[in-house]
Every structure is written in structure tokens, then in C-alpha cells.
Amino acid sequence: MAEKAALDQWYCIENLADVPQGGSGNRLLGVDLAIGRAGKSISVSARGRQLPVRQRYGYLWTSLGEPAASDPPAIPEAEESDRRYVPCGAFTVRTSGLRIVENFLDMAHFPFVHTDILGSEPHTEVAHYDCEIRRDVDEVWATNCTFVQPRAALSAGGALKTDYMYRIATPFVTVLYKTCPMATDRWDVIGLFVQPLDPDRCRAHPVMFLIDDAARLADLIGFQQTIFLQDRIILENQRPVLLPLEPRAEIPTRADASSVAYRRWLKEKGLTYGTTLGEGASAA
């Protein structure tokens, strides 16, 4: 069961367009949810208790606890009028939700998992990048990340040295800023909202906010879904399924600086749901 540090977070649980009129079910942190919809009004309850609800970025958010923030993490770029909103579906994955966030941060797997898309041999080295826990906003950031990519985005015309920034806004919400082929002075923005169903099972909700007014929506979605489905094969075969937080449980390399910071940040928060430390945890 989830501890207070996990309960007191905002979680994305559904795309608003997929919430039917009337009643429907959902799940979060091992708890069954009931969603009710009448027109644009949506409610969420669990165990006979009404839960807080927010509608942000085209998604439904809720919490089983008492989040410190009044709203889900802000993504200012999502409000820019010239960006295309591209929701990419929901993927159920048999792994810890924290594993998915960590995989999202990992550039080292690009040439081997996303071959000839996000990476290729012999360009396998992850150049030095900067990573920090920003105490003023309580987020993990990785900056000055670069990688040579054969096809960094659907709009890319060829191989491109791509700049990245990673932002982990909450333990289960992460945002990627990457080189925009259509506007070199701006970033393409990709959000990954992870919904932990159980410690070892989750749903991932990827969404893009792009500067691209030419590509077909179906092609943009297909490009991102291809990448995520390649990741899912790896994620469902990782062992242990839960994220290890014990010292020396997994040996990091220089390329894993963001993972090291992320795990340290989780331990500081006391968040153990979906980790090997949380297997015996009880609800707060």
C-alpha cells in the first residue's frame, strides 16, 4: 500500500476525451476509483470519499492524499497558442511507474533500443551533462544534454545533433525539452504522466506540445507510439520489476547521473511505492 509521500501527489488518470458520460472505473496506487461525468463536470471518488479533481493539459488529475501544491505541475509551453497538442494514448506497462520515469531519462539506450531513430552505432557515447536537484522548486533537472540522432523528430530532415533538457517535476511527472527542427530558438516539449496502478503495474500517458503545423496528427502520434512501444519491451523485462533504492543495488555509470539524482531525491522524500524498499510499506 502507498505511503503518505506517494499519496500526496497529483496524478494523471485519463485523457479527458476518453472519460465517458455517466460512470466509469479507474485505479491509482492500488485503490479502485469511480469516475462520474455529466457534461463537462467530472468527479472522482474512492472508498466512498470524494477526491480532488483538476483538468489540465487535456487530462484528468486527482490525488488520494493532500498535495502540497494546489494544482498539477505547471507546463507553461502547453498554454502557447501556436503549439500543437498531441496526446499519444495510454499504455499499460507491467513495471514500476518509477522505472518508466527513469527510462525516460536514459540517453544511453537510444542507439540500441531506438536504432536509426533516436540513435545509432557508432555514436553511442553519452556526453557529459549537468544534473541537479533544484531545491527552490523541488525538481530534478538534467541540462546540457546532447545526442546525435538519425531522426530526432518526425519533422527532422536528417541526422541532427539534438539538445535535451529533462525536468522531473514530481516523482511520476517528467517533461522533456528537445531541439525543435521547425524553430531553432524554441523547444519541442514532451510530457510523460505516469499513473501507478499498483507497485508493479502502471499506465503511461505521453503527450507532446510541438511547433509543427505541417505533419499529420496521426503521423505525429504514430512516431511517438513507436518509440514508447520499443521502450515497453525493455521495461517489462527489467529485473527487479520494482526500482531498487538500496545502495549498490545497481552500479551506475557516468551516463546515469540523472538516475542517481532521481533516486536520491525519492529517498529524501521517503517515497517508496514502486521501489524495493516499499514492498512492506503500509498506508499512511
Alpha-carbon dihedral sign for residues 206, 209, 213, 214? negative
* Category of 274 on φ-ψ map: left (φ > 0), alpha (ψ -120 to 50) or beta: left
pLDDT, average across residues 186-213:
95
Using a pLDDT cut of 90, give the percent of the chain over it: 62
| Highest mean predicted confidence (pLDDT) among 5-19, 98-112, 213-227 | 5-19
Q: What is the pLDDT of residues 86-132, one digit of tens each?
A: 999 999 999 999 999 998 887 655 655 555 565 556 665 667 789 99
Which pLDDT band holds residue 149 (cuts at 50, 70, 90)?
A: low
- How far apart CA 44 and CA 41 sit, in angstroms, is 10
Of 218, 162, 168, nearest to 188 by C-alpha is 162
Q: What angle is formed at CA 24 by the lines to CA 20 and CA 27, rounded to 5 degrees?
A: 125
- How many Cβ atoms sit within 10 Å of the Cβ of residue 270? 14
Decide if 104 contacts 243 (C-beta within 8 A): no
DSSP string, 146-160: EEEETTSSTT--S-E
Kindly tell me the burial class for residue 164, based on how many C-beta atoms sit within 10 Å of its own C-beta (0-12, 13-18, 19 or more). Answer: buried
Residue 14 grid coordinates:
485519463
Confidence at residue 175, expressed as pLDDT on a 0 to 100 scale: 96
Confidence at residue 148, expressed as pLDDT on a 0 to 100 scale: 72
- Among 43-57, 58-72, 129-143, 219-233, the range scoring the smallest mean pLDDT is 219-233
Which pLDDT band holds residue 284 (cuts at 50, 70, 90)?
A: very low
To the nearest whole number, what is the mean pLDDT of the chain?
86
| Highest mean predicted confidence (pLDDT) among 165-174, 183-192, 214-223 | 165-174
Residue 180 grid coordinates:
525543435
Which pLDDT band holds residue 267 (cuts at 50, 70, 90)?
A: very high
- How far apart CA 259 and CA 243 sit, in angstroms, is 11
Of 6, 12, 9, 17, nearest to 191 by C-alpha is 12
